[in-house]
Amino acid sequence: MDKVRFGKTELMVSKVGMGCLPIQRLSIPDAVAVVRGAVDLGINFLDTANGYTDSEEKIGAAIKDIPRENLVIASKSHATDKKTLLEHLDLSLKRLGTDYLDLYQHHAVSTVEKYDAIMAEGGAYEGMLEAVSAGKLRFPGFTSHSVALAKKIMREQNFYSVQLPFNYVDVEAANEAIPLAQELDMGFIAMKPFGGGLLDDANLSMKYLMQFDSIVPDPGVMSMSEMEEIVRIYESGQPLSAAEMAAIEAKRAELGSVWCHRCDYCQPCQQDIKISGVLTIDSLIKRAPYIGVMRIAGANLENARNCIECGDCVQRCPYNLDIPALIKEKLAIWDEYLADNQPQPAS
């Protein structure tokens, strides 16, 4: 697979990476086979996170015999303070079996409050700089679900990369964030190229992203057939046809505006419900194992039953979603999921 220069890091990364969240759902041998298979196909960029349960350990098992210089390894931490970030980094290095990460990202910096905490004295960014000095980390980056906040952070020029949701439905980044990344010579990672599971046609999704030659999509995969299909699409170099563009427009029309974009402008909630986590639960269910779903979302989904339908979130939502009604819909999905995953009685 061809490679692309990853901004001013000067790293040369495969035109498409591998998002390693879904391998949580695989056995260790199956996960190792998928990661090694992806590398054999020419994928050299592996993106994971401290919070993805055992993803890092599985990657570590897969890459132990691969020359380290042949890989570009990225991970993330939700920590906002220096101490916790450094602890997370050391744990990631241990799990991955490596002495350094090429890219370490502040995870989900989608609110001003979180960003301010990271950048404050004793904040996680200080830990990033310390890790760079110690040789444990080459380049700091960040991920976000807010294009507006991401642009502000990018302009401060403390980071080498930005990761934002970007696909043929989530197109906000195309007009400003991607051009800004090019202007500032930052690496741009296209998060959620399949819309968190909403977009199931790899041909449409990847051909759309192929139009932007400076970005690196990192689709989450959990089988070799998925990875092979993505690589085949990229290597074909075929642009979108008129029929495929029509299919994209049809999907956009189908989704309309009645889906959560995870911007979190609806927060805070009087009942302390993390609304985007509720409205995207069906996507998480598709991508993560039961233990991960319960750890990440279980308490929040149960708390969502306390919604008092005050309407504050509706007033704040830039997409005019009827959030209380959507919460009820997602709780119905949640209840069905819980029923389907009840422990079976011993025979």
Q: What is the pLDDT of residues 187-230, one digit of tens each?
A: 999 999 998 777 889 999 999 999 998 999 999 999 999 999 99
> What residues contact residue 256 under an 8 Å CB cut-off, 6+ apart?
none
Side-chain-side CA neighbours of 253 within 13 Å: the count stands at: 6
Interstrand relation of 3-5 and 12-14 (parallel, antiparallel or unpaired): antiparallel
Number of Cβ within a 10 Å radius of residue 326: 18
Residue 62 tokens read as: 């897969």
Alpha-carbon Rg for the chain, nearest whole angstrom, is 20
User: Which runs of consecutive H residues, i.e. helices, occur in the chain?
Assistant: 28-40, 55-63, 82-96, 112-119, 124-133, 147-156, 172-175, 177-184, 202-210, 224-236, 242-255, 275-279, 281-287, 290-293, 299-303, 312-316, 323-340
| Alpha carbon separation from 238 to 170, 190, 208, 221, 225 (Å, rounded) | 22, 20, 10, 22, 20
Segment 60-80 shows an average pLDDT of: 98
Mean pLDDT of 132-147: 96
pTM: 0.82
pLDDT band for 9, please (50, 70, 90 cuts).
very high
DSSP calls for 179-208: HHHHHHT-EEEEE-TTGGGT---HHHHHHH
Over residues 275-291, the pLDDT tens digits come to: 999 998 987 887 789 99
Residues in the chain: 347
pLDDT higher than 60, residue 10: yes
Closest CA relative to residue 145, chosen from 159, 165, 162: 165
Q: pLDDT tens digit string along 311-322?
A: 999 988 866 789
Closest to 75 (Cα-Cα) out of 13, 8, 19: 19
> pLDDT-based confidence at 329, cuts 50/70/90?
very high
First to last CA, the chain: 51
Question: Considering only CA atoms, which of 177, 125, 168 is closest in space to residue 150?
Answer: 177
* Alpha-carbon distance values, 61 to 20, 218, 227, 231 (Å): 13, 20, 19, 23
Q: What is the side-by-side order of every strand in the sheet holding 161-165? A: 18-19, 45-47, 72-77, 101-106, 137-143, 161-165, 187-191, 215-217
Phi, then psi, of 161 in degrees rounded to 5? -150, 160
In single-letter form, the type of residue at position 144 comes to S
Q: What mean pLDDT, rounded, does the chain reach?
A: 94
Q: What is the pLDDT of residues 223-262, one digit of tens each?
A: 999 999 999 999 999 999 999 999 999 988 877 767 787 7
Q: How many CB atoms lie within 10 A of CB 96?
A: 25
- Asked if residues 186 and 173 have their Cβ atoms less than 8 Å apart, the reply is no
Tell me the per-residue pLDDT of 120-132, one tens digit each, with 9 for 90 and over.
Answer: 999 999 999 999 9
Angstrom distance (rounded) from CA 23 to CA 223: 9
